[in-house]
Amino acid sequence: MSTFQVTRTLPADATTAALRSDVSHGLGSEPKQLPPKWFYDARGSDLFEEITRLPEYYPTRAEREILIARAADIATATGARTLVELGSGSSEKTRYLLDTLTGLEVYVPVDVSESALVQAGEVLLADHPDLAVHALVADFQHGLVLPETPGPRLVAFLGGTMGNLLPAERAAFLGSVRALLSPGDALLLGTDLVKDEATLVAAYDDSAGVTAAFNKNVLAVLDRELGADFDPEDFDHVALWDAEHEWIEMRLRARTALTAKIPALDMAVSFAAGEEMRTEVSAKFRQESVRAELAAAGLGLRHWWTDSAGRFALSLAFPDSG
């Protein structure tokens, strides 16, 4: 019989405290910046789902192609009895693994949104009546502690979210994942790959303007949660390719000189005309760079799979012995 439980490891006010800290530091610095996690309120999540269906946005389709083609290989290579998914959201793509990991006993979705976990859990239990679901309301970047579950465990970090972390953050994240793994456990990692600039920029600046609305939605979050008076119409969406760092940057560019007030922080933020605020970094990878970053964290790359067009990769890594 299936079971479902939710464990909250985040304090009730953790999200508000983190938002206040990120805005205070990010908008008080030069250049101004905000982390991309604040895109994802209810409207932002809906907009992102719309983005994944756009013709320009290939990563979701490419990763799905690999999961469908390679789920059986992943099952054979890992023999996983527990699947842990970091940043699980709707758990949609994970279903390909859940359907194929025949020895799976426990699924541990990890997300900051309890409502997303509960909604996904209800659907999964209907489709997998013998599965135990132990959902964690937690921030996977800060002191994640997993429940006791049977091994081997497969930790999945999909969707290319790895690219939203800066290099030092990626190193810390991979190190924390390695600390969670026992011999025989594995990490399944999704990474978008370096490709031509036109394809990359189009994926983050679609012709329908959905990504622009998604980018500007972060301002609506600040207005609602912190009482700010940002007007999204005062800003233009910008997406550009940084060839030196091999990442896409999304920015918001002030159309005119303006000052926005943030009463909850007793803060006023001034923008010069044309000044930009970075809202997302999305790093792109090569096989050798992924291998090197995994190795630095004590993880050995054993399998590397790409979609048919070579746009996206799934890598499977295991803890190094000793």
Cβ atoms 223, 217 nearer than 8 A: no
Strand partners, 250: 239, 280
Query: With the C-alpha atoms ordered 37, 39, 41, 47, is the resulting torsion angle positive or negative?
Result: negative
Structure-token pair, residue 73 = 């290989």
What integer pLDDT is reported at residue 91 of this predicted model? Answer: 66
Euclidean distance between CA atoms 42 and 49, whole angstroms = 11
Kindly list the averaged pLDDT for each block of 10 residues, start to end, along the chain of length 322. Answer: 75 82 95 91 87 95 96 95 85 83 90 77 79 85 85 94 94 95 96 97 97 96 95 97 97 98 96 97 98 98 98 97 63
Euclidean distance between CA atoms 188 and 156, whole angstroms = 5
DSSP of 73-85 = HHHHHH--SEEEE
**pTM listed for this prediction:** 0.92
Question: What residues contact 142, with CB distance under 8 A and at least 6 apart?
Answer: none
DSSP assigned state of 52: T
What integer pLDDT is reported at residue 115 of this predicted model? Answer: 73
Catalogue all structural domains in the chain, each as residue range(s) with its CATH number. Answer: 1-224+285-322 (3.40.50.150)
